[in-house]
Each structure stands twice: as C-alpha cells, then as structure tokens.
Amino acid sequence: MSPENASTDPPVPETAKPTAGKAGQTLALRLWPAWLVCFVMLSCMITTVTSSIDNRSRFMVMMAGPLVCCLLFILYVILFSRLRWKEILLLSLSAVIAPALCVSLSVQESPLYTALWVYAVPLAIFTTTAGLSLFCDSPRRIRNTSRLLFVGWMLFTLVRVDGFDGSYYPEFAWRWTPVHEQTLAALPQQSEPVATRETTEIPVSVPAEWPRFRGSAKNGISTADLTPLDWKTQPPEILWKIRVGPAWSSFSCSGKRLFTQEQRHEQEYVSCYDAADGSLIWSHADNTRFEEVVSGSGPRSTPTVINGRVFALGGRGLLTCLDEETGAEVWQRDFVMEFGADPPMWGFSGSPEPVDDKIVVYVGGEKHGLTAFDMESGEVRWSFPSRGMNYTTVQTAKLCETPCLLFCDGAGVHALDPATGQPCWTFKPTGYEQTPMVDPQQFENGDLLVALGDGAGVCRLQVTRTESDEGSPWKITELWSSRFLRPSFNDSLISNDLVFGFNQAVFSCIDGQTGKRLWHGGRYGFGQAILLQTTGQIIVAAENGDAVLLRATGDGLQEQHRISVLNGKTWNHPIVANGCLYLRNGAEAVCLKLTTASSTAPAVASVKPVR
C-alpha cells in the first residue's frame, strides 16, 4: 500500500472493536444490572428470615420479592443485557422448560411449590447471572448458562418441604425419607375396644386440673404445689414418650386423662391418653383434613373438658361434643356446611370456652360470628356478628365486677354480655391490625394486655365503669403501647406486673406498668411458655423442641438449664398436671416428672419408649 493511501487513523485495539452487527460475533454483555437484581433478591430473602421484622411484612416480602425480581430480570435480559434476539429466545425457552420439568418430576405437594417460588426462582436468577458472567466471552454462553439453570432447578426434584418454621425457613427433607404421618397407624375408633385395663374414674363434680387451653385461669400459669426445680443437679425424669399425629393442639387434663387432637391420614382425631403411661384410652375420628403450606396438616385447637364432656374444634370447623369417659359422640356442628363459614388461612384455631351452660367459640359465618352453643344439645343460644380470619379464643373475665366475655376481631376488642352476646363496649387500640392472633389477658388489677397484631406489639388498656344516665358507663383508656414485646402466635405470661413473652423469636420481659423493656435475649425461636407460680420459674418449650428453665424475674435473663426433649418444630403449649410436665409437637408427646421422689406423681414401672 502506498503512503498516500494509508489511513492516518491510529490502530483500533482488538478489545475496543465494535461487536454489533456481525454474524457469529460474541457480543460484550452488560452484567452489572443483573448483579444488582441479585443483590435486591438477596436483600428480600434476608428480610424474610429476619425475625425482628413483623411476620406480616416478612410474609409479604417472601411472596412478592421473587415476582418483583423476576420482572426486573426479564426487563434486564430484553432491554439491557446486549444479548442478541436469538440468544434471548433460547434463554427464554430454557427458563420455561427447566421449571416445567422440575414441577413435573418433583413431589406433587403445595409446600414444595411454595418453596419453588420462594427459593428456586431466586436461585434461577442467580445461576443465570453467574452463567452469563462465567461464559460471557464464549460463543456457547447461552448453552452453558442453560445447563447451569437446569441443574439449579433439578436440585429441587430431590427434596420435599414439610412446612416452614416461625422465621419462614423451609423444612427441607429428602423426598425418599418417610413422612412422619405416613408411618402412623390409624387409631382405634370409639366403638372398638381400645384398652382392657381399668382406668381411673373421673367424678363429674371434681374440677379438672388443666381443663382447657392455657389452664383453668386461661393464663398459662400453673398453681401446682412444686418445690423449686434444679435441672442441673436433678434433671426431670422422662416417664414416657409416644408418637402422635401432626397438630398444633395442646393438652387438657382431667384426673389421669389427657385430651388432645391430631391428624392421621384423612382422619382428624380427638384422642384421650392415659396421663400415667401415655397409652391410648379412646379416640374419636372425623373424615376431614386441614392442611396448609406453612404449618402443615392437623387441627390447631385444644379440647376443653368440663362436666364429663369434651369439646373439640377441628381445623375445618367441626365442633364436637364427646363423652369424657368413653369418647362417644354427643353432638356435632359443622361451621362450613351449616353456617357458611370460610376456614381461616391457618385453620380454625380458637378453643371452645365454657360459659355457664354454653360453649362459646368463633365461627365466622355469614350470620354467626362468635357463637354460643348449648352444652347439652349443641343448639345456638346467641351469636355476635364477626367475620374474617381469627385465631383467638374468647376469654371470660370480670371487668369492674361485671362478668364479660373478651373477644378480639378486626374491629378491635369487644366486651360482651355472657348471657346474650350483646356488646358492652368496643375499643380499637392505636396501631391495632385486622387479624387477631393472641388472646387478651388480664393484669391483677383488671387491666387488659392486648396484642396489636401478628408481630405488631402489645398495649395495656384500663377499663373503668361509672353509673351514668348519659352515654355508655364504660371508659377505656390506653395506658401504653409497646413494640418491645411483639408476639405472633405466642402467648405471654403476667406475673407481679412483669410481662414475659416472645418479641418475635426472642424471649423477653417488659415492665407491665410502663411497657418498657427490662431484658431481651432468650433465643428460643417461636416457642411457648408456662409459669410455675409456686417456684417463680418459667418453662419455655423452644421451637426446636428443647425445654428451657428460667427464673421469672425482671433482673435480666436467668437461664437455669436447658434439655433436649422433642425432635422437630414445636409450637404447642406445654401444660403441668399431676406433678408432671406434658409437652408435644406434631410428631411426639412426652411426660416429664417435675416432682421429687417423695412427691406424688403418676407412677410407672419403667420409662415407656417412643412407639
């Protein structure tokens, strides 16, 4: 080439040569927007498992985060990635075929589908971004990225999900391991002979020691005459441990009989076990099943035993009255079929509350909200209008020497006339949310502790009454509101104006006079607790199945000892009766002897193994 024809422009470096418009040429990708989407996705996932954030907000982020990030990533691929249209088409086909193949080959259950949405979609975004970054200069970058994408999705065909814990961590298990419920046999029906040995007779006139959810006073406090427990030097003896069906029910106890509920396959049971050795006395089954993706299957309510009758509410709204001694059905009402009720998202959870000659429970039907049923006949005596999701148990109380029923729903806190169901007053605290989860409680002076919602906080209400011819005689004053105690479905304990409970996943204590935090630090997950009044101690049933012994004091967390008792997620309330601690979860039940050798407790010849 002659000098006059030579170009005067400087040579263009190889890396800076234009890449667009030439067939077969590998284009330089713009990757930073994809990694930005991954960062947003990671932030959403961290938010969903941060227990200091209330459950409702975490749940919304858990479900909406993958959708938002997926849409952002699609926009990135189409508009900002610099991929050719042929590459976009091939990547899109992979992004559709891989999840479709995963769903067709995986366990066909709703919990896994939820996990696929919450975890597999973010993983797919990450693997696609990683593949494009690793193979960005390769002419086969889409093929290699698609391989990574398929591997990520296929991992989920190897597992199943048995639900989520309180912090929304999925409970993954290998798909080939046995499901606990599938290993259980059906229980004998009431009409079949269950036990040939003699059982302890329960005179109707003798009050049950733990007759209902959270005990006779409905406050989670045991008044049993116990000596102070020292689990370090004298660990509690395990008297028996048995296998039970999934449920979040607690126990009720009358004499030597324990009553609970459980699911076994397609039958929902009310079960009666011997408190001394854990053997089955009788069972009653209904052909129904409640199940949802977070908590799994089984009923949520706890039976109530009174006057020789057992009242139990199932997860799909079957209210059943049974004979305490035999388990024979006396009457049954179906909330869905008879009253047009819609089962709440987490199932019917309120326990039946005895009020004089009535049983009161939340129905949530078109014309029947909180409803009182005749104990003997099951006929409706009165109903207070209320609809929507509700997981609380109505509470009997005396307010200013006036008998009342305390009931929470979306409109606030109601005080009702026990005889008629007519409202005495209604009050909606500041910051109160729509779905009540935790029952109201009373302080010693009659003030009320009210939860504001799922992980939203608590408040203290003062109730006064003056006789007046003008307006309502009732006056409700909100004394304080606190976010230092934010229960979700975990009930609190009140002792000497101290309030102990769960601030989401951390056990805490607040001052009942001011709502200020006194201490915070018990890492027990989303568990439940019981107060031993005579010893000044608290037993926490931790979410992982441990039993933790604490001092009931406002002077800092004083954990005395911790023992492993149950395996798996434990959300069920513990009870104390017959000098023993009874615990259960969705798989096991256990009896621990709390008394010394000289005390009276159910006697057994030897420890009964899990069966």
| Number of alpha carbons in the 13 Å side-chain half-sphere of residue 506 | 17
Task: Tell whether 607 is covered by a domain.
Answer: no
Q: 278 and 152, same structural domain?
A: no
Asked whether residue 525 falls in the same domain as residue 415, the answer is yes
Instruction: Please tell me whether residues 417 and 495 are part of one structural domain.
Output: yes
Whether 172 maps to a domain, the answer reads: no
Q: Is there a domain that residue 526 lies in? A: yes
Verify that 437 and 302 share a domain, yes or no.
Answer: yes
Quick: pLDDT tens for 63-121. 999 999 999 999 999 999 999 999 999 999 999 999 999 999 999 988 899 999 999 99
Average confidence (pLDDT) over 541-549: 96
Query: Does a structural domain hold residue 3?
Result: no
Cα(586)–Cα(110) distance, rounded to whole angstroms? Answer: 19
| 1 assigned to some structural domain | no
Q: Which helix (H) or strand (E) holds 97?
A: helix 85-105
* 313 and 383 both lie in a single domain: yes
Mean pLDDT in residue range 415-425: 95
Confidence (pLDDT) at 606? 36
Q: Is residue 346 part of a domain?
A: yes
pLDDT at 3 over 50: no
What is the total count of domains within the chain?
2
CATH of the domain at 367: 2.140.10.10
Q: Are residues 141 and 217 in the same domain?
A: no
Residues 148 and 285 grouped into a single domain: no
Q: What share of the chain is helix, strand, coil (3-state, %, to 5)?
A: 20, 30, 50
Is 29 a member of any domain? yes
Dmax over CA atoms of the chain, in Å, equals 120
Residue 604 within a domain: no
Give the global pTM.
0.87
* Domain identity same for 217 and 151: no
Q: Tell me: do 320 and 256 sit in the same domain.
A: yes
- Could you list the residue range(s) of the whole structural domain that residue 290 is in? 209-593
Give the strand order in the sheet containing 353-355.
353-355, 358-362, 370-374, 380-384
Residues 108 and 233 in one domain: no
Do 453 and 533 reside in the same domain of the chain?
A: yes
Per the CB < 8 A criterion, the answer to whether 275 and 602 are in contact is yes
DSSP string, 521-547: EEE--S-EEEEETTTTEEEEE-TTSEE
Q: What's the pLDDT band for 25 if we cut at 50, 70, 90?
A: low
Q: Is there a single domain that holds both residue 141 and residue 215?
A: no
Mean of pLDDT values over 469-492: 90
User: At residue 158, does pLDDT exceed 90?
Assistant: yes
- pLDDT-above-70 percentage for the chain: 90
